[in-house]
Structure 1
Amino acid sequence: MRSVELFVGAGGLGLGVSQAGFQPAAVMDWDKWACDTIRENQKLGIDLVSEWPLHEVDVREFNFEDITGDVDLVTGGPPCQPFSLGGRHKAHLDSRDMFPQAIRAVRNLKPRAFVFENVKGLTRTTFANYLEYIRLQLRHPEMVEKKDEPWLDHLARLEDYETRGRYRGLEYRVALRVLNSANYGVPQKRERVFIVGFRSDTAIEWHFPEASHSQEALLWDKWRSGEYWDVQRVRKKDRPVDEKQMQRASRLEARPSQAAWQTVREAISDLPDPEKEPRKSAGIRDHKFQAGARTYPGHTGSPLDEPAKTLKAGVHGVPGGENMLRRPDGSVRYFTVRESARLQTFPDDMIFHGSWSETMRQLGNAVPVKLGRVVAESVRDKLAVIKPRRAKGT
């Protein structure tokens, strides 16, 4: 099956889609640093990205008609600054909003399905009308806005068309949900909104993948069975005390059937501490100690025995209190690039181009590879049982 990846960045979603078995017909991003990351990994022959047809281009200038043949899936994470908690919240007024280009790609390529993701902030009440506007445009991508038409007027026309119930041309069935990465085996509590659509002529019934991991299972393994501490070889005297977690665990009647949330310790325990063991760390690519970590209210780092807090890109480099590890003794340090890549479930052989702050920006903007793969696999499994057909009008 063939895919097109928009706004690839460091490749989190794109890698997940490739791991799910899709073959990219085009992969694109305008950011030089992100494209250099992909190119360096291609030179190294890193699996999956080595054959990516990469385009360093502003998607607004890309001609989708240059892509020949049928496309099964369009994916991407349109730049999220207009909706991010760390951004300026201008949404449709923000020139960085690339959802119009994602919709243009769907309109031109007519894929059998699409998967777009963005920050959870897109679902805030402030953006409710605009989120519905995005959904309806993806439902009816050929119903384009008129010249100089205000977006609210275009929304009203889309609503009229939607409620009329008699559609012509290209149409998609669209589902939307916020997914917590930790619930799918990612060692990070990272929430992203996914928008998934199937072309209406496929007649596919689909729902988001069920969670495979749970916090309750981790609570049980820590505070009821003690299995977590035993497997991690943490002595009783070194185990942190968390009264709230212990109380929650005591109320569980049985261990949940899901796997336990994955923790920071599980993700990085085989890596030497770059602050305490600099010589051992020196031989590991992208695993260098970065000084300057400090805590302040609301920014206290990620506990070692929990999934990490959401890694952030920051507006001007890495925020002072973010992207830190908090040890059981309360001391903190920044995660290295390699550790951050682990928390985002990137392959260990993948390297990242640029300074520490630049690479952390790429990682902070990425979709966890494992989460991208889980969603892409669920879409692939549905598409695999439906014989491809050309969309109407092609």
Structure 2
Amino acid sequence: MLKVISLFSGIGGLDFGFEEAGFETRVALELDKFACRTIALNRPSWAVIEGDINLVPSSVILDRAGLDVGEADILIGGPPCQPFSKSSYWVRGDSLRLDDPRADTLSGYLRVLRDTRPRAFLLENVGGLAFEGKDEGLRHLLDGIRQVNAECGTNYQPSVRLIRCAEHGVPQIRERVFLIGSRDGRTFRFPEPTHSGRLDTECSLFATSIEPYRTAWDAIGDLTEPSDFEGLLIGGKWGDLLPSIPEGQNYLWHTPRMEGMPLFGWRTRYWSFLLKLSKRLPSWTVQAQPGSAIGPFHWKNRKLTFEEMCRIQTFPEGLKINVGRTEMQRMLGNAVPSLIAEILAHEIRRQLLDAPLDRGLRLLPPRRELVPPPERLAPVPVKYHSMVGNHAEHPGTGKGRQAIKRAQMAQGAEKTRS
């Protein structure tokens, strides 16, 4: 078994994928107590450290893993994205403070990379990490890796790629950025997409291996309806409106541009408001902290169960929880689909660790050919009829009330500084 040091482990989304590719998590560091409890429940053999990365010395991480410097085959982790607001940490030309206890999570990851010197590393984060013009976090990481090389004599040369998970067989629309590098300077080549949303055969002229996206039905179509609906019913002001929205649609169905009742203005709400899964499409991104009317919801007009969300996240079968709905949703919504980790782990073994694994993907959902027709729509309840009207559309990007408010606040702050 190849040896893994896991940081910001969460519920174990990355680790589960590496596990299926023949890696063993020797230690997992995680701040959230509910995630640590869930890891211990499902993988009692993993050494778990509950704590802040900037308060846990690298020597403790190595000791709990039973490893010396340089012995880990790979360091993996997904630092939380909240530190991206701390742009003061990332002024170019400033020396990176990797040992400063006030450092952000990215610096914490870099410090452990420097101190443990694994054969390879993988870092994942939200797609915004690499947005052009807003890539301070990415530049901070690349500068930090260069500093690690200079201090330690390593030769990590990171490859960076934005991965659209549905293009690799995950039955969910989710984007993540990955950085992968090898201690000896080998360049990692990311695997090309294997799945597409196009249902015609045009793409087969150029790429015969391209398959249609895996869908929500592929992921959860074989599961029976839960016998206990406690915690799954959608309450609040809008719960009774969801049965009147077709599969694969959201509140936009009830705007003047579409076929429902004109209850809302076009694009005046968040996309995920009253969003319902379609049996014939991938799921939309599972949310970590959804409001009462924020989906995606099941086509049976209820919230998704723990097992269904695990399937959509391509987690291994049989996971258990002993936490509440809020904590469970946050852990699953923040996780990386394990199938993506499994795919990358296979390539890392082959390209960087000289240990190819001759077996197929274990977390790829099976394709289910017999897809039932869409669920029958319910009429709009009478209590919503008073909302029918000629609602104004959203005025456009940067012109909404919140955007104008933010612009005014920024102008006021600029005047104060000047």
Q: Using structure 2 for the length normalisation, give the TM-score.
A: 0.66
Written as runs of structure 1 = structure 2, the 5 A alignment for 1:1-394 is: 1-41=2-42, 49-66=43-60, 67=62, 68-69=67-68, 70-83=71-84, 89-90=85-86, 97-141=104-148, 169-199=153-183, 202-216=184-198, 219-220=199-200, 256-274=208-226, 279=227, 289-292=232-235, 293=239, 296=251, 297=269, 298-299=271-272, 300-314=275-289, 318-325=290-297, 327=299, 332-385=301-354
Counterpart of 1:108, as a letter, is D
* Closer/same/farther in 2, CA of residues 62 and 82 from structure 1, 3 Å limit: closer
Residue 312 of structure 1 and its aligned partner are, at CA, apart by 1.6
- Using the TM superposition, give the Cα deviation of residue 74 of structure 1 relative to its aligned residue in structure 2, in angstroms: 0.3
Per-residue deviation, residues 99-131 of structure 1 (Å, max 9, x unmatched): 101000110001111000001111223422332
8 Å contact from structure 2 (residues 83, 104) kept in 1: yes
**Counterpart code for 1:312:** Q
The superposition leaves residues 303-339 of structure 1 with CA deviations (integer Å, 9 ceiling, x where unpaired) of: 231101111212xxx2344332363xxx743222211
Structure of higher RCO (CA pairs closer than 8 Å, 6+ residues apart): 1
In structure 2, relative to structure 1, the CA distance for the partners of 1:6 and 1:268 (3 Å cut) is: same
Task: Give the greater-gyration-radius structure (CA).
Answer: 2
SS at the partner of 1:2? strand
Partner Cα separation in structure 2 for residue 313 and residue 197 of structure 1: 29
Q: Is the 8 A contact 1:304 1:325 kept in 2?
A: no
Which digits, 9 at most, give the CA deviation of each residue in 1:65-96, with x for residues without a partner? Answer: 2413211210000012345xxxxx44556979
- Whole-angstrom CA distance in 2 between matches of 1:313 and 1:92: 27
Give yes or no for contact 1:10–1:35 (8 Å, CA) kept in 2: yes
Does the 8 Å CA contact 1:26/1:54 hold for their aligned counterparts?
A: yes
What letter is aligned with 1:259?
E
Q: For residues 22 and 290 of structure 1, do their structure 2 counterparts lie closer, same or farther at Cα, with a shift above 3 Å needed?
A: same
Query: Once superposed, what is the RMSD of the aligned Cα atoms?
Result: 2.7
Tell me the SS of whatever aligns to 1:135: helix
Q: Count residues with an aligned counterpart.
A: 303
Give, in whole Å, the separation in 2 of the partners of 1:140 and 1:184: 33
| Structure 1 contact 64–108 (Cα < 8 Å) conserved | yes
Query: Structure 2 CA distance, aligned partners of 1:91 and 1:143?
Result: 24
Structure 2 regions of 5+ residues with no counterpart?
A: 91-101, 243-249, 252-268, 356-418
CA contact (8 A) 2:171 2:214 kept: yes
Query: How far is 1:253 from its partner?
Result: 7.5
TM-score calculated relative to the size of structure 1 = 0.70
**1:14, distance to aligned residue in structure 2 (A):** 1.2
Q: Which residue of structure 1 aligns with residue 382 of structure 2?
A: none
Give me the identity figure in percent: 32
- Equivalent AA in structure 1 for residue 178 of structure 2: F
Deviation at 1:302, TM superposition (A): 3.0
Aligned mates of 1:341, 1:96 — CA distance in 2: 33
Structure 1 residue 64 displacement after superposition: 1.7
Q: Which 5+ residue runs of structure 1 have no aligned equivalent?
A: 42-48, 84-88, 145-167, 221-248, 387-394
Distance 1:338 1:288, change over 3 A: farther
SS at match of 2:148: coil
Secondary structure of 2:163's match? strand
1:252–1:99 distance in 2 versus 1, CA, 3 Å? closer
Conserved 8 A contact 1:91-1:127:
no
CA deviation string 1:282-320 (max 9, x = no partner): 8xxxx9633235554322233231101111212xxx234
